[in-house]
A and B are shown apart, each in its own frame.
Chain A
Amino acid sequence: MKRMNYGQAIRSALLHSMEQDSSIFIMGIGVDDHKAVFGTTAGLVGRFGRNRVFDTPISESGMTGIAIGAALAGMKPIHIHIRSDFLYLAMDQIANIAAKWSSMFGGNASVPLVIRSIVGRSWGQGAQHSQSLQSLFMHIPGLKVLMPTTPSEAQGLLIAAIQDPNPVLIFEHRLLYDIIGDVPDTPTALPLGRAIIRRKGSDMTLVAGSYMAVESLKAAEFLSKHGVEAEIVDPVSLVPLDENRILASVAKTGRVIVIDSSWTTCGMSAEIAALIVEKGFHFLKAPIRRLGMQPVVCPVSKPLEAAFYPNAKLIAAEALTMLGRDFPKTPAPELLNTFKGPF
């Protein structure tokens, strides 16, 4: 095992994969610059050359189509967007072309495309640099959608995505980039569709992915001090979704809060809540609760921004309300956000 942060784990997966397979190439705005997409592409131009790691015109839609065409012709492109918000510009190519290709042409060809994008929550990213768009893509058959939380998942799922013959979107959360964790000495693919139990508990289930899993862990530690043991299920892979592991946890606890890094309406949290209602209603001791971003546009002003995003304190409060308990009056510094800018 090696210790590295989330960004280094992604870089190691790219490096390892590109050494193994010469058909893999990286493209995207700024992938070859000195910032190297938060370090994830650092040194790769030097190692593999400009033909395999290249900057693109600021043409998200066209470049996505170009990646699809290259994938159809035997290459394995990795298209990187430094903000997930830019995916809206590529929606036609992702939803109408990449997702549909295999079905629309009766399996004549497939599109082995990886799209990495980074969710830019907080520190004043504002309306158009902060969105977490996993739910939009979950809606569209033909795509796979991943949200790795730890360095080992960031590495292993990226390798799995590269090896997958289908279009795969990976949502990396900016606030996960500083997390340090153990990763295998030799990068290895992790299976898709396997949820991770982040913490065991018997009183309630928190289904939370990506950065919300981190906030949920903070909330769970706090709750534990007050006699509540929460189990945290991190889906990690949204499409395919590990329904069994989510339902098994709900069967054990009977109470569930689904927490997403995005809006709740028609979102990942709605889908998982619907899953639990459809297949696990008889396990429930209380109505399902959901937490996500407030149903408004992300503001910049610090106090408004703090009120906009779900966080550990809100999760803990929701859990206690669910159990009919008051929020303790003692200070809870462990629930505070420690991130300091700039990005």
Chain B
Amino acid sequence: MKAPFYSSLSSGMRDWKLYRLMLKIRMSEQKIIDIYPSDKIQSPIHLSIGQEAVAAGVCLALKSSDRIYGTYRGHGIYIAKGGDLGKMFSELYGKETGCSRGKGGSMHLSAPEVGLVGCSAIVGSFIPVATGDALAAQMRKDSRVVCSFFGDGAVDEGVFFESVNFAILKNLPIVYVCENNGYAIHSKVLDRHKQPSLARLVSGLGLIGKRHDGNDAPVVFKTMSQAITQARKGKGPVFLEYMTNRWHEHVGPGTDYQESYHSPKDKENNSRNDPIKKMEKILKKRKGFSLRADILKKEIQNEIDQAVNFAEKSPFPSLQSLYHDLYAESR
């Protein structure tokens, strides 16, 4: 039997890569939290701290030619898919050099050059768009796979079911990745669904869904790799539900554990399920971990500082650019 794609990466290499991506996401968002009170980032931010393993595990399993679609909580997948950090900070600053030229902001990151097609601020709305991208891949006989990221709130939307139904009907090469962080804004899954397992919701449509630990990066990587292999072989779509935790408020830089929507155990539970600590537990068993981790953190911090510097120094878009890109020009 032919070995699956993911086994081509040694587990040592893989784990370090996952660790690096997760650290980069966490440290970048911590930098955003630090900057936020200065009001230099004048738009809403939705942080993915606590959910880094999903972005890292899924994106590392994908090829750069594979395309992904995300949500307003998009910093994690932007970084994990290989988006330029300077362009991301510039976008948050509303600068001309931003990945969406300052028109999108934190909620509308895009990096098509590495396969992040875009992120939407309407819950669930990019699920059909990602599905259409997979339809194009099938029609054009491209070997790429499409991945659609969304939260547990998105499965409340009609387009979720419409998209999944179509993907199964046409056997499309798409992986639906549901990041279940337990809360749709402030609303629990059980207040919105009788069936608490979102993976099981789609089984009646004929899609096999599986629930996994979304705070364990190697688990995410392995399960995603298997899903990609299936989708790429033309064996149809896959639904993966990754259980994870959002540490911060739905929108904004703070935490809101004191609010009534939280269970009293959430804070402790989040800390226990820290995906970065879980990864460190594995890596600590290897020789020279602390030295290597220190070097890594310095490298990342340096990269972040350069990215922020780039954003700070970049100009705002010209006022004429207000009218640019409303329509694409005919080629």
Chain A 69-104, CB within 8 Å of chain B: the 1/0 string?
111111101000000000000001100110001111
Contact between B166 and A104 (Cβ–Cβ < 8 Å)?
no
What CA separation (Å) do A309 and B188 show in the bound complex?
A: 49
Asked if A277 is an interface residue, CB under 8 A from chain B, the answer is no
Contact between B136 and A63 (Cβ–Cβ < 8 Å)?
no
Asked if A330 is an interface residue, CB under 8 A from chain B, the answer is no
Contact between A57 and B125 (Cβ–Cβ < 8 Å)?
no
Contact between B117 and A57 (Cβ–Cβ < 8 Å)?
no
Closest to B128 in A: A65
A251 CB to closest chain B CB, in angstroms? 28
B98 CB to closest chain A CB, in angstroms? 7
What CA separation (Å) do A285 and B206 show in the bound complex?
A: 67
Asked if A109 is an interface residue, CB under 8 A from chain B, the answer is yes
Asked if B130 is an interface residue, CB under 8 A from chain A, the answer is yes
What CA separation (Å) do A59 and B159 show in the bound complex?
A: 8
Asked if B39 is an interface residue, CB under 8 A from chain A, the answer is no
Asked if A56 is an interface residue, CB under 8 A from chain B, the answer is yes
Asked if B194 is an interface residue, CB under 8 A from chain A, the answer is no
What CA separation (Å) do A71 and B131 show in the bound complex?
A: 11
Given contacts A62-B159, A164-B330, contact A69 B129 (CB under 8 A): yes
Given contacts A59-B165, A102-B327, A103-B325, contact A25 B139 (CB under 8 A): yes
Asked if A106 is an interface residue, CB under 8 A from chain B, the answer is yes
Given contacts A57-B162, A62-B162, contact A69 B102 (CB under 8 A): no
Among B122, B126, B128, B132, max chain A CB count under 10 A is at B132
Interface positions, chain B 140-181, Cβ under 8 Å from A, are: 140, 158-159, 161-163, 165-166, 169
Contact between B112 and A69 (Cβ–Cβ < 8 Å)?
no
Contact between A106 and B101 (Cβ–Cβ < 8 Å)?
yes
How many residues on A have C-beta within 8 angstroms of the other chain's C-beta atoms?
42
A166 CB to closest chain B CB, in angstroms? 5
Kindly list chain A residues whose C-beta atoms are within 8 Å of the C-beta of B130: 69
Pick from A56, A65, A77, A105: contact of B104, CB below 8 A: A105
B241 CB to closest chain A CB, in angstroms? 20
Contact between B328 and A165 (Cβ–Cβ < 8 Å)?
yes
Asked if B133 is an interface residue, CB under 8 A from chain A, the answer is yes
Interface positions, chain B 170-226, Cβ under 8 Å from A, are: none
A260 CB to closest chain B CB, in angstroms? 24
Among A51, A70, A101, A163, max chain B CB count under 10 A is at A70
Pick from A65, A96, A107: contact of B163, CB below 8 A: A65
Closest to B169 in A: A57
What CA separation (Å) do A103 and B330 show in the bound complex?
A: 16
What CA separation (Å) do A64 and B326 show in the bound complex?
A: 20
Asked if B281 is an interface residue, CB under 8 A from chain A, the answer is no
Kindly list chain A residues whose C-beta atoms are within 8 Å of the C-beta of B159: 59, 61-62, 65, 92-93
Kindly list chain B residues whose C-beta atoms are within 8 Å of the C-beta of A103: 103, 325-326
Contact between A93 and B327 (Cβ–Cβ < 8 Å)?
no
Kindly list chain B residues whose C-beta atoms are within 8 Å of the C-beta of A136: none
Contact between A65 and B328 (Cβ–Cβ < 8 Å)?
no
Closest to A75 in B: B136
Given contacts A57-B169, A73-B137, A108-B112, contact A166 B132 (CB under 8 A): no
Kindly list chain B residues whose C-beta atoms are within 8 Å of the C-beta of A71: 132
Closest to A73 in B: B136
Pick from A61, A69, A101: contact of B133, CB below 8 A: A69
Kindly list chain A residues whose C-beta atoms are within 8 Å of the C-beta of B169: 57
Contact between A109 and B139 (Cβ–Cβ < 8 Å)?
no
What CA separation (Å) do A101 and B135 show in the bound complex?
A: 19
Contact between A97 and B165 (Cβ–Cβ < 8 Å)?
no
Pick from B117, B125, B324: contact of A72, CB below 8 A: B117
What CA separation (Å) do A108 and B103 show in the bound complex?
A: 11
Pick from B69, B126, B131, B325: contact of A107, CB below 8 A: B325
* 30 A-B pairs whose Cβ atoms sit less than 8 Å apart in the complex: A51-B139, A56-B166, A57-B166, A59-B162, A61-B128, A62-B128, A62-B163, A65-B127, A66-B129, A69-B129, A70-B132, A72-B129, A72-B136, A74-B136, A75-B135, A92-B122, A93-B129, A96-B120, A96-B122, A102-B327, A102-B328, A103-B103, A106-B101, A106-B104, A106-B325, A109-B117, A110-B328, A142-B326, A165-B328, A166-B328
Q: Which residues of A are interface residues toward B (Cβ below 8 A)?
A: 25, 51, 56-57, 59, 61-75, 77, 92-93, 96-97, 101-110, 141-142, 144, 163-166
Q: 3 closest A-B pairs (Cβ-Cβ)?
A: A69-B132, A65-B128, A62-B162
